[in-house]
Amino acid sequence: MTLHQNLIAGEWVGGDGVANINPSDTNDVIGEYARASAEDAKAAIAAAKAAFPAWSRSGILERHAILRKTADEILARKDELGRLLSREEGKTLAEGIGETVRAGQIFDFFAGEALRLAGEVIPSVRPNIGVEITREPVGVVGIITPWNFPIAIPAWKIAPALCYGNTIVFKPAELVPGCSWAIVDILVRAGLPKGVLNLVMGKGSVVGQTMLDSPDVQAITFTGSTGTGKRVALASVEHNRKYQLEMGGKNPFVVLDDADLNVAVEAAVNSAFFSTGQRCTASSRVIVTEGIHDRFVQAMGERMKGLVIDDALKAGTHIGPVVDQSQLNQDTDYIAIGKQEGAKLAFGGELLKRDTPGFYLQPALFTEATNQMRISQEEIFGPVASVIRVKDYDEALAVANDTPFGLSSGIATTSLKHATHFKRNAEAGMVMVNLPTAGVDFHVPFGGRKGSSHGSREQGRYAAEFYTTVKTAYTLA
């Protein structure tokens, strides 16, 4: 089996491989991927540091061309890369291809941004002095990504880092190295100079920790769990470096009495269960006012009966497997916790057998849940949701905001008054009206507040805030 190696200082290196396993069929080994050591990570950081002076001064047309070529190749290979994504992560083929297209669009967007770098020239408050405000790259950026969006998250961190002239040490989640390896390979062939982008696949506790401990990494952008995010924060404070965290969520989806029932059910099912509930923007708390509660729960049950849970690559599958055994254990543990806490398991929650050995779980819906239960407060990260019954809009909003997290928040309503009030008062970085809590555009800011995020927003033009540092220059005329 081909060994996919790490990329350090422009060379493909590393011998020791780890098998990348298909969660829809654990007999299917996708490939072998090198496992970097701490020494490899140090060499990658040194290579990125050495490459920074030249790349930070590279022409915008060179950056544009490399990002553009990368976008073109990703889009041209969307079916093949989407298939690889679904095979290694377990989301459906349609979702895998959709995510791949999005990665291509992100590279395309930042190819354009490279040509639009600009500053400001403003008069000084003192006579005969000019003031220029410019943005400069930060330096060596450490990129640490999770397993649940194997191509989109690497794309939305790598593309702006390169666009603004930074060099990179990139560590993808060990569980899903395939798409990361593929986009690094594409970037290298698109003409990226040696050392500008270094790929170090391997364990977070080894490779990631080496990045956190290095004084030569000037910025770290991280997406993953709250626990690891805190480690990134503490280590970054120690080194006085910039850091950006995207972490967990416990996103509420509110359904009001005046909601269109079909719109509400479709958005709730999508939010809670699509991509196997493994999205940081997924909703696992459905907060429903009492006038529509029973009709809503019944309609959810009917809709859930129609969901096909099977091999991610099979035509007709709506929901693929859970990503691995340990995540499946976490999901079933929370189903048991929900029952112990007194919530009623109204639908699903059973382990499923399919033609191939995989981590198949019937999506689960609890009713009679309260917001104080652990299933309503802690991130499950699987296809498990609970319905919380409330009296009216005011209580719904209070319950929606009663969480340590603040990534995404949704509402189903036909009332302009309530939609407007919710947009203004939901304590979240993203608010959705009559739409699922998950599913965002690639050209606008992404991120949350409270315990979900730290630092400036990702994606769109707001990404410049993290990947650049501002310089103010004064000149005597």
- The correct pick among 46, 212, 269, 365 for binding ligand NDP (CB under 6 A) is 212
Instruction: Give residues 291-320 in contact with ligand NDP (rule: CB under 6 A).
Output: none
Candidate list 83, 203, 303, 443; residue touching ligand NDP; CB under 6 A: 203
SS3 of 447-473: the string is CCCHHHEECCCECHHHHHHHHEEEEEE
Smallest distance, Å, CB 182 to ligand NDP?
17
From the CA atom positions of the chain, what is the Rg in Å?
23
Residue choice 20, 100, 148, 413 for contact with ligand NDP (CB under 6 A): 148
Q: Is 364 in contact with 348 (CB distance < 8 Å)?
A: yes
| Distance from C-alpha of 463 to C-alpha of 445, rounded to nearest angstrom | 8
Contact with ligand NDP (CB under 6 A) among 40, 246, 324, 331: 246
When asked if residue 181 is in the footprint of ligand NDP (CB under 6 A), the reply is no
Show contacts with ligand NDP in window 363-422 (CB under 6 A): 379, 381, 407
Q: Which among 64-72, 166-174, 365-373, 469-477 is the span making contact with ligand NDP, rule CB under 6 A?
A: 166-174
Least separation in angstroms between CB 135 and ligand NDP: 24
Alpha carbons 411 and 425: distance in angstroms, whole number: 12
CA pair distance 121, 116, nearest whole angstrom: 16
Instruction: Pick the closer one to ligand NDP by CB: 153 or 196.
Output: 153
Known active-site residue 246? yes
Here's the x/- map for ligand NDP, 95-124, by CB under 6 A: it reads as ------------------------------
- Phi, psi for residue 32 in degrees, rounded to 5: -105, 135
- How many residues bind ligand NDP (CB under 6 A)? The answer is 28
Q: DSSP alpha helices (H): ranges in 164-225?
A: 177-189, 209-213
Strand partners, 374: none
Q: Is 379 a catalytic residue?
A: no
110-133: b (≥16 Cβ within 10 Å) or e: bbebbeeeeeeeeeeeeeeeeeee
Minimal distance, residue 112 CB to ligand NDP, in Å: 24
Encoded tokens for 436: 């699922």
Residues that bind ligand NDP (CB under 6 A): 144-148, 171, 173-174, 203-205, 208-209, 212, 223-225, 228, 231, 246-249, 280, 379, 381, 407, 452
Just list the catalytic residues. 246, 280
